[in-house]
Amino acid sequence: MTESLEIASPRSRPAAGRPTSDQAAARHAELLDTALDMFLDRGFEPTTMEGVAAAVGMTKRTIYARYADKAALFIATVQRAIERLVVAPETLAALDSGDLETTLTAVARMRVAQVMTPAGLKLQRIINTESYRFPQIFNMSYEQGAGPVIAFLADLLRRHDNAGAVCVDRPEMAANVFMSMVVSGPVRILVSGNLLNQQEIDERVTFAVRLFLDGVRTR
């Protein structure tokens, strides 16, 4: 009795060597992360497409198929760094406890904590070192990262102003000033390579929040 053999048709076989969409996305993320590290370590000018390709194990042709030149690759690396730090609207909404001081403190701590992450420090460093060459990266970071937080704070202040708890004629400006007070100082310290322990951060945040509230509370 002859045993019948079932032969798979070419259509049923997986395509040899072709990555899945998840694998392709992971490789692309690896490319951008590697390129960002190289731009940070070496600077924009010394970093080459050849060097990036070699570091990530890709051909130049593969990279050029996606990015026309080194500047386009650079902008994409910064965009990925920004996206990793974007705060979802529901995350911001969850910080609103109903008490203004508590909510402002929670927002401030969240933003400082973001900067303290490796991804946050890399983003700040690349903006500090390359925004003179690519001024758009500062606007990208503000609009996508800080912008939603500023909008949330402006709405928060507007609601508390309507309730009579504070007097804020220009909520958007007040929100920007608040973020400068609570975040800019720690950011400068951290990006410069110095460390802040959690107690120092908490003391700075508490002082800044109370100083801000002393300026906007109704008399």
Segment 39-58, tens digit of pLDDT: 999 999 999 999 999 999 99
Cβ proximity of 115 and 195 under 8 Å: no
Contacts of 73 (CB under 8 A, 6+ apart): 35, 49, 52, 63, 67
**Confidence tier at 17 by pLDDT (50, 70, 90):** low
> Which amino acid makes up residue 99?
D
Location of each CATH 1.10.357.10 domain in the chain: 89-216
Q: Tokens 């072709």 identify what position? A: 18
Buried b (16+ CB within 10 A) or exposed e, 71-88: eebbebbbebbbebbebe
Q: Tokens 């400006």 identify what position? A: 173
The reported pLDDT for the residue numbered 6 is 40
Q: How far is it, in rounded angstroms, from Cα 216 to Cα 219?
A: 9
pLDDT at 24 over 50: yes
**Domain 21-83 class?**
mainly alpha
Among 85, 194, 208, smallest CA distance to 145 is for 85
Average pLDDT, the chain: 89
The phi, psi pair for 187, rounded to 5°, reads -60, -45
CB atoms within 10 A of CB 114: 21
Q: How far is it, in rounded angstroms, from Cα 96 to Cα 98?
A: 6
Cβ proximity of 141 and 151 under 8 Å: no
pLDDT at 1 over 80: no
Radius of gyration, alpha carbons of the chain:
24
Q: How far is it, in rounded angstroms, from Cα 204 to Cα 113?
A: 13
pLDDT tens digits, one per residue of 128-138? 899 999 999 99
Domain 89-216 belongs to what architecture?
A: Orthogonal Bundle (1.10)
pLDDT at 192 over 80: no
Location of each CATH 1.10.10.60 domain in the chain: 21-83
